[in-house]
Amino acid sequence: MTNLKCIICKGDIDKHYSSDGTMYWDQGHNAEPIADGRCCDRCNEDIVVPHRMADIFTEHKNYYKEDNDGKSTK
Ligand SMILES: [Zn+2]
């Protein structure tokens, strides 16, 4: 079984082991919307998750901006 590579940093994707040594997780995280593939723990935490947070924040800003522009269709 080959190691999956992180699509962002090209490093090996971390394997997670349970306390008895059984590997139960080696598929990485969904790297979208940064990249179409899988990424490692570090890239997920440092890049993908903050990016998603920023996207949510931006959507909210646009929503309120439109609201304030008075373009109401109601
Ligand atoms: Zn990575």
**In this predicted structure, what is the pLDDT of residue 51?**
93
Boundaries of domain holding 29 = 16-63
Flag whether 72 is in a domain.
no
Using the mean position of ligand 1's atoms as its centre, give its distance from the Cα of residue 15 in Å.
13
Using the mean position of ligand 1's atoms as its centre, give its distance from the Cα of residue 26 in Å.
13
Q: How many domains, the chain? A: 1
Using the mean position of ligand 1's atoms as its centre, give its distance from the Cα of residue 33 in Å.
14
Flag whether 2 is in a domain.
no
Flag whether 4 is in a domain.
no
Flag whether 48 is in a domain.
yes
Burial class (CB in 10 A: 0-12, 13-18, 19+), 38: buried
- Asked if the model's pLDDT at residue 71 lies above 80, the reply is no
What are the tens digits of pLDDT across the range 15-70? 999 999 999 989 999 999 999 999 999 999 999 999 999 888 887 777 666 666 65
- Asked if the model's pLDDT at residue 2 lies above 80, the reply is no
Using the mean position of ligand 1's atoms as its centre, give its distance from the Cα of residue 59 in Å.
26
Peptide linkage before 33 cis (omega within 30 of 0): yes
Using the mean position of ligand 1's atoms as its centre, give its distance from the Cα of residue 10 in Å.
6
Q: What is the pTM of this model?
A: 0.69
**Hey, how many other C-beta atoms are within 10 angstroms of the C-beta on 70?**
6
CB 8 within 8 A of CB 35: yes
Flag whether 68 is in a domain.
no
